[in-house]
Amino acid sequence: MSIKNDLFLRALKGETVDRPPVWMMRQAGRYLPEFMALKEKYDFFTRCQTPELASEITVQPIRRFGMDVAILFCDILVIPQAMNIHVEMKPGVGPWLPNPIRTLKDLDHVVVPDIHESLGYVMEAIKMTKEKLNDEVPLIGFAGSPWTILCYCVQGQGSKNFDKAKEFCFTNPIAAHMLLQRITDTTIAYLREKVKAGVDAVQIFDSWGGMLSPEDYQTFSWHYIQQIIDALKSEAPVIAFGKGCWFALEEMSQSGAAALGVDWTITPENARKFAGSNITLQGNFDPTRLFSPPAEIKKMVTSMIDRFGKDKYIVNLGHGILPNIPLENAKAFIDAVKEYKQN
């Protein structure tokens, strides 16, 4: 079966389109009342680990707003969980890892798991989601970058600067690279299984890449993302998104990734200049700008498309949608793209 709305897949290939495709990072989530209704009944990891719930949450925004692509509801921290690292989601705190990794000895219990045993529920969720989507739109599977996963494993929780994670890398590089390689190997196996289960593209979220200097970024983050792209690119299109990593766009554009995500701290013109004209770009609307009035959002989105160009471009936010965005504003963002006409 071919997918009825293949705009997203065509944009990833760099084909000419009438308008760019649109989706929003974190679109399956906490700004939707129907999501909050499920959140009240089931805790976070229950929602991730129950295929019926994960697939339902994935299709909620598609039903409501009709984005051009769905992204599987899950979390980047299912990877450390599978690797025998205990992860909780604490209300009011967020991710909480009670036994953070701080020494080489701490790596003794960290495994590269059997994906079917530890993460089979994700593959079931993909199959159920594909049934619900009924080939209307494609489905994205995702993973965190190895560096971003390491940040949580070492810091033990979210952070403004991930100082303990960086200290670990700089004082204990042998242990850091061992951990990064295990995360990379696990992530490659995980994304491969996701593609086999039916996702149409994969995205790597390097949420904390911008915490590193350009030199350290190469050593502790990009080196491992490149391994993932190399392993996956012949099996599915890969999108690499590094928040705060505009300095690496030129190198990223040579990586074999199908598209690069960009955040809101760079102009469309500079993003194109650094990445070159041969690669598809995705982004870069400031998520907080969704608090602007709907009419203003529509104007800004239209201007953003004009500046990036309608081809080799996927409209998105520069990071995840915030929980308290009014629904009509999210709708204005999506509608602006669907109504786009080139001047």
- 237 CB-side CA count, 13 A: 18
Which secondary structure element, helix H or strand E, spans residue 127, and what is its range?
A: helix 115-133
Residues 245 and 204: beta-carbon distance below 8 Å: no
Instruction: Give me the helices (H) in the chain, please.
Output: 7-13, 33-41, 44-49, 51-65, 78-82, 115-133, 146-155, 163-171, 173-197, 214-217, 223-232, 249-252, 268-275, 294-308, 327-338
Alpha-carbon gap, residue 90 to 331, rounded angstroms = 30
Q: What's the chain's Rg over C-alpha atoms?
A: 19
Say if residue 289 carries a ligand binding annotation: no
Alpha-carbon gap, residue 153 to 102, rounded angstroms = 9
Say if residue 6 carries a ligand binding annotation: no
Residues 71 and 21: beta-carbon distance below 8 Å: no
Buried b (16+ CB within 10 A) or exposed e, 144-163: bbbbbbbbbbbbbbebeebe
Give me the residue label for tokens 């025998």: 84
Which secondary structure element, helix H or strand E, spans residue 90, and what is its range?
A: strand 88-90
- 214 CB-side CA count, 13 A: 7
Say if residue 75 carries a ligand binding annotation: yes
CA distances from 176 to 151, 172, 230 (A): 10, 6, 22
Phi, psi of 129 (to 5 degrees): -65, -40
Name beta bridge partners: 146: none
Residues 87 and 97: beta-carbon distance below 8 Å: yes
Say if residue 29 carries a ligand binding annotation: yes
Alpha-carbon gap, residue 136 to 68, rounded angstroms = 9
Say if residue 340 carries a ligand binding annotation: no
CB atoms within 10 A of CB 3: 17
Name beta bridge partners: 282: 261, 314
Say if residue 319 carries a ligand binding annotation: yes
Say if residue 152 carries a ligand binding annotation: yes
Binding positions are: 26-30, 45, 75, 152, 207, 319
Binding positions for substrate are: 26-30, 45, 75, 152, 207, 319
